[in-house]
Amino acid sequence: MAKIEVNGVELFYIEGGEGTETIVLSHGLLMDYTMFAPQWDALAEDFRVVAYDHRGQGRSGNPPEGEDLDSLTNDAADFIAALGRGPVHFVGMSMGGMVGMRLAARFPQLLRSLVLIDTSAQSEPWLQRLRFKAMCALVPLLGVKPFIPQVLALMFGPATRKDPAKQALLAKWRDKLAALPPGIVRQVRGVMHRSDVSDELASIRCPTLVIFGDDDSLTPADCSWRIATRINNAEVVRIDNAGHSSNLEQPEAVNAALLGFLAKLSAAPKP
């Protein structure tokens, strides 16, 4: 566990594993680096694995500004450069995927490959934006707890929420959400007011894998297919019985997709 100062903020990260190539894991909104725990051991057998917390979340610093996606992208670029292990394989879930797309388009020299999990290149749909705007207005008055059931329903699909074997997973993230400070609305607004980067996707040249849960209501399947059609030779994997957090809900299937994708890259000659 360590911290590194980049782009005017201290980012918390953990690293481990073996291998000459590095994988950087970038988490989703309202989450932290621990969301990749189900992937850690599988990836660490053959790669150096790094997972970090975005500014304003987890154990990273929380400066008074810079929660927008462009700032988070610059954070990631400086972070990778500071690690000195690039180009890296970048795996981003939801908000982390939004960072990953911008990173691959704007800092191509830093990435060997890109994996996008349950994410979108488009701006926030207006109805969803209204919902989040109302929540952000009420959180400073009521706190986070009244909104946890609604947020969990967005984060996890119906199959997961109904599965007795996955109630411990839901309880863990329920507790994590309950511990969030009211100030987290700044990070929510940063994602909510993001710009559409669909036109930037054509400039992404690194091998790309797009993964989505078939029951994702927050970034539905068409978001992933739109990304894949704009990135040359992007691969797509659908995860059954998973919602917006497919890597947590169906880790075995996501791990198989990740390892298969990375194995093909390892077998191919490097450019």
136 located within any domain:
no
Q: What is the CATH number of the domain that holds 94?
A: 3.40.50.1820
> What is the edge-to-edge ordering of all strands in the sheet holding 9-16?
2-6, 9-16, 48-52, 22-26, 88-93, 111-117, 208-213, 235-239
- 270, pLDDT greater than 80: no
- The mean of the pLDDT values for the chain is 95
d(CA 48, CA 179): 30
Main-chain phi, psi angles of 22, to 5 degrees: -115, 140
> What pLDDT is attached to residue 31?
97
150 located within any domain:
no
pLDDT digits (tens, 9 = 90+) for 61-95: 999 889 999 999 999 999 999 999 889 999 999 99
Is the entire prediction scored with pTM above 0.85? yes
> What pLDDT is attached to residue 269?
65
> What pLDDT is attached to residue 263?
95
The pLDDT-based confidence of 266 (bands split at 50, 70, 90) is confident
The pLDDT-based confidence of 267 (bands split at 50, 70, 90) is confident
The total of structural domains in the chain comes to 1
- 54, pLDDT greater than 70: yes
The pLDDT-based confidence of 5 (bands split at 50, 70, 90) is very high
- 1, pLDDT greater than 90: no
239 located within any domain:
yes
d(CA 112, CA 5): 24
Give the residue numbers spanning the domain of 236.
2-123+196-267
186 located within any domain:
no
38 located within any domain:
yes
151 located within any domain:
no
The pLDDT-based confidence of 223 (bands split at 50, 70, 90) is very high
